[in-house]
């Protein structure tokens, strides 16, 4: 009996080595032990443990095939539990990522909403900016238009002044001022066309000032010339009337219309033979009141010079009285005795002496002077 | 005795028929699973599954009933493992997609916030400009 027991022990002690798969499996689960698996996959873990136990039992029994079979089963159960646990982890991760994605999407939606609001504000501000710019531009344009209109008005006034000066013949009387005015006007036009309205205003004012200066110089001279022409025309008209008297020698001299009247007196007498020859010229004097009348008495050279002078003066007085009787005021009349000092013919002949015995009625050309400013 | 043998034969045939049906089913499953994208682990597990299916067929042919039963037990467990591994791959893909989506959304949100800050700065500058305009 004892030998049987020893034999049995010997046989028992000479068990075959553990299968490699069983050793590998035991090593694998030892290093990869995870308590989470016990919570998540308890059934599979139990199946794995049970299969492992059976594998060990089979190995103890010496049944290597069964030991390997149960080892494989235990490994499969273990790996299945691991896979399912990993899947759970992955599912949890997917859920977390999905939550993160949703939060990020929500954050982006908020940002998009905020962006839309900011964009609306920017558009509103852009519109406001454009409106302000347009308003500034409109004000600037209006201001420029006002300046242009004001410059135009001043230039027109300057042009009118310049035209007035030219009409007053400032070309002859005030050429310097006129040319200055013209130059200033050209500067005003150039500045206006270039949009420099202040400069145009200044140039227009200069034009007006120079034109006014030219007018101030030319106007009295122009008026004097017109007056002179009027006087000349009147004298010519008077000449036309005067030449109708055959007893009169009529001419226009520098001093005026000279009417030489002959055979008014008897020799050495100062009494008019007739007033008929004088009357036409008294009417002429009345018709042309602007002309002063000088009555000059002349004699021939017979007799004493003093006597001739007295006689000529008396005769002039006689004729002047006719004018006074015709209501020609004494302030217009002047009598002068010239004696024989101004003969018009040769005193050597009777004819000449007859011509020298005369009274000259001079309608004095009025002196036209330009009015002083 | 004959009856018992007949019953035994019928049982054996039935068992054999049931085993064959299972083998056939697992064969079809293996074909289906082979079409799914998987990692090397799955390929290896799937290869093992197919090998064991072939083993079961061979044992079936050799009328190794016990061997067939043992192989079928392993095949069943391996099938579950392959399914679990495939589910893990799908879960990994889902997690990766979710992570990518989260990253994409995070970047989009970040870009949107940067753009908001940039446009708000532009608005502030424009506000100052409008206030200062004559």
* Chain-chain contact of A115 with B92 (C-beta, under 8 angstroms): no
> Residue A59 and residue B63: Cα distance in Å, rounded?
26
What DSSP designation does A263 have? S
Contact residues on chain A for B70, CB-CB shorter than 8 A: 66, 69
pLDDT at B41: 83
| DSSP string over A80-94 | HHHHHHHHHHHHHHH
Task: With H, G, I as helix, E, B as strand and everything else as coil, classify residue A41.
Answer: coil
User: For B7, what's the count of Cα atoms within 13 Å in the CB-facing half-sphere?
Assistant: 3
- Give the strands of the sheet with A333-339, arranged side by side: A248-253, A256-262, A358-364, A292-298, A333-339
* Residues of chain B numbered 41-100 and touching chain A (CB < 8 Å): 70, 73-74, 77-78, 80-81, 84-85, 87-88, 91-92, 94-95, 97-99
Residue with tokens 């061979």: B58
Above 60 in pLDDT, residue A4?
Answer: no
Contact residues on chain A for B67, CB-CB shorter than 8 A: none
pLDDT at A239: 94
Three-state SS across B35-56? CCCCCHHHHHHHHHHHHHHHHH
pLDDT at B15: 63
Above 70 in pLDDT, residue A175?
Answer: yes
A91 touches chain B (CB under 8 A): yes
Q: What are phi and psi of A314, to 5 degrees?
A: -60, -40
The mean of the pLDDT values for chain B is 87
pLDDT at B39: 60
B116 touches chain A (CB under 8 A): yes
* Chain-chain contact of B91 with A115 (C-beta, under 8 angstroms): no
Question: In a mutagenesis test of the B interface, which of A96, A118, A128 is the best target, namely the one with the most B β-carbons within 10 Å?
Answer: A118
- CB atoms inside a 10 Å sphere around CB B79: 22
* Chain-chain contact of B84 with A87 (C-beta, under 8 angstroms): yes
CA closest to B88 among chain A residues: A87
User: A203 falls in which pLDDT band (50, 70, 90)?
Assistant: very high
* Chain-chain contact of B113 with A111 (C-beta, under 8 angstroms): yes
* Residues of chain A numbered 26-85 and touching chain B (CB < 8 Å): 66, 69, 72-73, 76-77, 79-80, 83-84
Above 80 in pLDDT, residue A36?
Answer: yes
User: B5 falls in which pLDDT band (50, 70, 90)?
Assistant: low
User: Which segment of A233-247, A269-283, B65-79 scores lowest on mean pLDDT?
Assistant: A269-283
User: A287 falls in which pLDDT band (50, 70, 90)?
Assistant: very high
The mean of the pLDDT values for chain A is 91
**Contacting residues for B33 by C-beta, under 8 A, at least 6 apart:** B46, B49, B82, B83, B86
**Smallest Cα distance from B81 to chain A, Å:** 5
Contact residues on chain B for A114, CB-CB shorter than 8 A: 116
Above 90 in pLDDT, residue A264?
Answer: no
* Chain-chain contact of B116 with A69 (C-beta, under 8 angstroms): no
Q: What is the largest CA-CA distance in chain B?
A: 121
* Chain-chain contact of A112 with B112 (C-beta, under 8 angstroms): yes
pLDDT at B6: 60
User: A352 falls in which pLDDT band (50, 70, 90)?
Assistant: confident
A131 touches chain B (CB under 8 A): no
Q: Which of B70, B85, B123 is closest, CB to CB, to A122? A: B123
* Chain-chain contact of B88 with A104 (C-beta, under 8 angstroms): no
**Smallest Cα distance from A148 to chain B, Å:** 23
Q: Which of B88, B112, B120 is closest, CB to CB, to A87? A: B88
Dump pLDDT digits (tens) for B22-78. Answer: 888 888 887 876 665 556 788 889 899 999 999 999 999 999 999 999 999 999 999
A305 touches chain B (CB under 8 A): no
Read off the pLDDT of each residue in A209-224 and give the average, rounded to a whole number: 95
Which token pair is B104? Answer: 């994409």
Above 90 in pLDDT, residue A30?
Answer: no
Give kind and range of the element (H or E) at residue A48.
Answer: helix A42-61
Calculate ∠ Cα A86-A91-A94, nearest 5°.
Answer: 125
Give kind and range of the element (H or E) at residue A22.
Answer: helix A20-31
Tell me how far CA of residue A335 lies from CA of A13, A266, A303, A363, in angstroms: 196, 20, 22, 12
User: Which segment of A163-177, A216-230, A260-274, A318-332 scores lowest on mean pLDDT?
Assistant: A260-274
Tell me how far CA of residue A292 lies from CA of A255, A358, A365, in angstroms: 11, 19, 8
B119 touches chain A (CB under 8 A): yes
**Smallest Cα distance from B39 to chain A, Å:** 13
């Amino acid at each position: 009996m004892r030998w049987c027991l020893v034999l049995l022990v010997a046989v028992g002690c000479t068990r075959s080595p553990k299968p490699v798969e069983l050793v590998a499996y035991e090593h694998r689960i030892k290093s990869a032990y995870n308590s989470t698996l016990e919570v998540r996959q308890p059934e599979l873990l139990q199946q794995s443990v049970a299969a492992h136990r059976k594998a060990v039992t089979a190995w103890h029994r010496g049944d290597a095939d069964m030991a390997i079979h149960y080892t494989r089963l235990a490994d499969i159960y273990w790996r299945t539990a691991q896979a399912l646990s990993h899947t759970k982890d992955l599912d949890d991760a997917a859920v977390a990522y999905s939550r993160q994605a949703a939060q990020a999407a929500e954050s982006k939606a908020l940002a998009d909403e905020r962006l839309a609001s900011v964009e609306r504000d920017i558009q509103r501000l852009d519109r406001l900016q454009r409106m302000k710019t347009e308003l500034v531009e409109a004000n600037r344009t209006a201001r420029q238009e006002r300046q242009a209109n004001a410059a135009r008005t001043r230039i027109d006034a300057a042009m009118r002044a310049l035209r007035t000066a030219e009409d007053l013949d400032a070309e002859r009387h005030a050429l310097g001022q006129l040319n200055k005015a013209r130059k200033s006007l050209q500067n005003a036009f150039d500045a206006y066309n270039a949009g420099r309205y202040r400069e145009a205003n200044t140039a227009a004012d200069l034009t007006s000032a120079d034109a006014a200066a030219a007018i101030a110089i030319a106007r009295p001279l122009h008026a004097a010339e017109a007056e002179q022409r009027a006087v000349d025309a009147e004298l010519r008209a008077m000449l036309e009337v005067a030449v109708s008297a055959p007893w009169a020698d009529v001419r226009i001299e520098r001093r005026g219309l000279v009417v030489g009247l002959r055979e008014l007196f008897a020799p050495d007498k100062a009494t008019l033979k007739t007033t008929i020859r004088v009357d036409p010229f008294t009417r002429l004097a009345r018709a042309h009141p602007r002309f002063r009348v000088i009555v000059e008495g002349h004699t021939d050279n017979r007799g004493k010079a003093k006597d001739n002078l007295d006689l000529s003066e008396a005769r002039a007085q006689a004729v002047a009285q006719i004018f006074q009787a015709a209501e020609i005021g004494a302030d217009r009349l002047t009598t002068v005795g010239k004696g024989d000092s101004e003969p018009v013919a040769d005193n050597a002949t009777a004819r000449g002496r007859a011509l020298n015995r005369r009274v000259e009625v001079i309608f004095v050309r009025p002196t036209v002077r330009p009015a002083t400013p | 005795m004959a009856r018992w043998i007949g019953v035994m034969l019928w049982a054996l045939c039935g068992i054999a028929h049931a085993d064959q049906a299972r083998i056939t089913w697992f064969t079809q499953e293996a074909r289906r699973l082979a079409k799914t994208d998987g990692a090397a682990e799955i390929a290896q597990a799937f290869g093992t599954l197919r090998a064991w299916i072939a083993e079961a067929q061979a044992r079936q042919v050799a009328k190794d009933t016990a061997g067939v039963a043992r192989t079928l037990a392993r095949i069943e467990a391996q099938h579950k493992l392959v399914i679990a591994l495939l589910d893990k791959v799908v879960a990994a893909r889902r997690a990766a997609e979710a992570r990518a989506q989260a990253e994409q959304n995070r970047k989009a949100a970040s870009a949107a916030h940067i753009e908001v800050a940039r446009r708000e700065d532009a608005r502030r500058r424009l506000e100052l400009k409008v206030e200062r305009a004559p």
